């Protein structure tokens, strides 16, 4: 009786290597993830999701803010990344919405002084219902604040001001002079254009 040939099954996990993903310089290049990769080039473009708390290990409320980083280069057992997106966690958004108040939001694009273009979504929730004209006024105030501050920031300054609430505080300070709001802030900020060499990377994912 002929003996059957045995085929050796490859262990795909044994063929992978693990690399440490570092945050961009805006977060002092701290380690943010440990991921398996098959090859260095194939890892470029991978997206890592973390919370602000995962990075700074500060206030537990920082779990409410999610950040996404995209692997830009692998060198040995470490990988560098670029900032891709910031957003409120869904649970945090749900906690903000209450009956009897107005929810106002809008989307606009702003560019940092070093040429990084972001698409930003702002959300505001008021103490009570607002009419259309006051909603419009709130949007104009928020756009004016961001239009004056963001173009004066570098990419690192913008990321920090977004993640740590500086822009939110500036908008709130301007808005509350004319409208009572319960919350106002950047719900989402997405990088849509950066240095020429990274445009293809961002569009591919």
When computed from its CA atoms, the radius of gyration of the chain, rounded to whole angstroms, is 22
- In the listed set 36, 55, 88, which residue is the last one of a domain according to the structure? 88
Contact call for residues 67 and 52 (beta carbons, < 8 A): yes
Question: Does some domain include residue 5?
Answer: no
Question: Does some domain include residue 3?
Answer: no
Residues 6+ away with beta carbon under 8 Å from 107: 119, 120, 121, 122
pLDDT band at 28 (very low <50, low <70, confident <90, very high): very high
Average pLDDT rounded to a whole number, residues 54-60 = 86
- In the listed set 29, 62, 88, which residue is the last one of a domain according to the structure? 88
Contact call for residues 192 and 118 (beta carbons, < 8 A): yes
Query: Which CATH number characterizes residue 171's domain?
Result: 3.30.479.30
Distance between CA atoms of 114 and 100, rounded to whole angstroms? Answer: 42
Same domain, 72 and 118: no
Give me the domain span that covers residue 75: 17-88
Question: Does some domain include residue 111?
Answer: yes
Distance of CA 201 to the CA centre of its chain: 16
- In the listed set 42, 71, 88, which residue is the last one of a domain according to the structure? 88
| Number of domains, the chain | 2
pLDDT at 14 over 70: no
Same domain, 84 and 101: no
Each residue of 135-150: pLDDT tens digit? 999 999 999 999 999 9
Distance between CA atoms of 12 and 37, rounded to whole angstroms? Answer: 10
Same domain, 115 and 166: yes
- Cα distances (Å, whole numbers) of residue 158 to 70, 112, 140: 17, 7, 20
H-only helix segments in 17-81: 40-43, 52-56
pLDDT band at 12 (very low <50, low <70, confident <90, very high): low
pLDDT at 25: 93
pLDDT at 195: 63
């Amino acid at each position: 009786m002929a003996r059957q040939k045995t085929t050796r099954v490859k262990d795909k996990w044994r063929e992978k290597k693990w690399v440490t993903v570092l945050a961009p310089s805006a977060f002092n290049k701290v380690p943010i993830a440990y991921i398996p990769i098959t090859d260095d080039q194939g890892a470029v473009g991978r997206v890592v999701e973390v919370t602000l708390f995962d990075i700074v290990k500060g206030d537990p409320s920082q779990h409410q803010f999610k950040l996404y980083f995209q692997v830009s280069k692998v060198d040995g057992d470490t990988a560098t990344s670029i900032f891709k997106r910031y957003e409120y966690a869904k649970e945090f958004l749900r906690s903000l919405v209450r009956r009897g108040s107005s929810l106002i939001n809008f989307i606009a694009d702003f560019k940092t002084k070093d040429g990084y273009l972001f698409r930003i979504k702002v959300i505001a929730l008021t103490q009570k219902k607002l009419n259309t004209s006051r909603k419009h006024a709130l949007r104009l105030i928020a756009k004016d604040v961001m239009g004056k501050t963001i173009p004066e920031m570098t990419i690192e300054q913008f990321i920090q001001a977004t993640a740590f609430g500086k822009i939110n505080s500036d908008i709130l300070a301007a808005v509350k002079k004319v409208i009572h709001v319960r919350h106002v802030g950047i719900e989402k900020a997405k990088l849509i254009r950066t240095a020429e060499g990274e445009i293809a990377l961002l569009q591919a994912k």
